[in-house]
Amino acid sequence: MNTIYLREQLQNFLIEDIGFGDLSSALIDPDDESVATIVAKEEGIFCGKPIVQELATIQQFDVLFCQEDGHQIAIGDELIVLKGKTRVLLETERVLLNVIQHVSGVATMTRQCVDSLNDESIHVADTRKTTPGLRMLEKYAVRVGGGYNHRLRLDDAVMIKDNHIVALGGVAEAIHAARAQVGHTTPIEVEVESFAQLMEAIQANPDIVMLDNRTPEELRDWVRQIPSHIKIEVSGGITIDSIAAYKGIRIDVISLGQLTHSVRALDCSMNLQGGMKHATTRNTSTDVR
């Protein structure tokens, strides 16, 4: 996590939401202080401790407690306890909840996929199908959930896809062009969509082959042709509902856009201590951690 970039993002999120001032919170005495508790309203994986800490620094409130990233949470669990100026806590509430709920949703989805696959020899990875502006946070959440990151940006690796192959005149031509241009520390991956393309790719010796939109049965046959020094990634149409079918196949990585592009936020809420909202989970104690 790049904390400099994280701070910049959070400052922009606050500017977007607060505008020229929170008209509702301005009704409260500026010297009034409160304790706010964020509780889980559903089960999942908590993610976002660095976000909470950075927001506390920007907005000048104290973090009395925060769950560790990767912690399994249940309904009603206390996730975060904050103390500070009431106005500040309330003007920060929506940004904090929006980001924490989203990244916890990504972490939860990732953990579910990892558990469903149940194969430690295969890495479950994300893709670049991320929310614009949130890629760093979403990819961090994937790691918290037990997954791995694919490319962060286009400059991380050469990844030759179908349109590159068309533009460069073939699989082998594309791989050779990459070898001639990039340095020895830059990996070269090629996506293949047919058995003929796979054979052509193997002859050109990329670092990684991506087998796109193949059934588990097809993959078991195809991977027998691939030398052990070439890493194997599979992708295309794989979801949390189908990932278990790939267990035990000799592949290194399964990449899923679902980890980030259509994830549902993990529901939680913030209540001032002693408040009546969501009474079944409210914290009415006068004691603070």
Residue 116 and residue 91 in contact, taking contact as beta carbons nearer than 8 Å: no
How many residues are given for the chain? 289
**CA 244, CA 216: separation in Å to the nearest integer?**
10
State the angle between helix axes of 49-59 and 3-18 in degrees (0 to 180), rounded to the nearest 10: 60
**CA 258, CA 236: separation in Å to the nearest integer?**
10
Residues 6+ apart with CB under 8 A from 131: 102, 138, 260, 261
HSE-CB of 99 using CA atoms within 13 angstroms:
27
**CA 65, CA 119: separation in Å to the nearest integer?**
34
Backbone dihedral angles phi then psi of residue 92, each to the nearest 5 degrees: -90, -20
Q: CATH number of the domain at 3-112+264-272, out of 3.90.550.10, 3.90.1170.20, 3.40.630.30, 3.40.1360.10?
A: 3.90.1170.20
Residue 256 and residue 243 in contact, taking contact as beta carbons nearer than 8 Å: yes
**CA 126, CA 130: separation in Å to the nearest integer?**
9
pLDDT at 71: 97
Residue 69 and residue 47 in contact, taking contact as beta carbons nearer than 8 Å: yes
Residue spans of beta strands (DSSP E) within the chain: 33-40, 44-45, 62-66, 72-73, 78-85, 123-125, 158-160, 188-192, 208-212, 231-235, 253-255, 268-272
DSSP one-letter code for 186: S
**CA 173, CA 166: separation in Å to the nearest integer?**
10
pLDDT at 262: 87
HSE-CB of 282 using CA atoms within 13 angstroms:
11
CATH superfamily of this structure's domain 119-261: Aldolase class I (3.20.20.70)
Show which residues are catalytic: 94, 129, 161, 191, 212
- Domain limits, CATH 3.20.20.70, in the chain: 119-261
pLDDT at 242: 95
44 pairs with which residues across the strands?
Answer: 73
Q: Is the whole model's pTM more than 0.85, yes or no? A: yes
> Can you tell me which residue has the tokens 């079918």?
245
- Domain limits, CATH 3.90.1170.20, in the chain: 3-112+264-272
Question: Would you tell me how many other CB atoms lie within 10 Å of the CB of residue 181?
Answer: 10
Question: Would you tell me how many other CB atoms lie within 10 Å of the CB of residue 113?
Answer: 24
pLDDT along the chain (289 residues), means of 10: 95 96 93 96 97 98 97 97 96 97 98 97 97 96 98 94 95 96 94 95 97 94 96 94 96 96 94 59 44
pLDDT at 279: 37
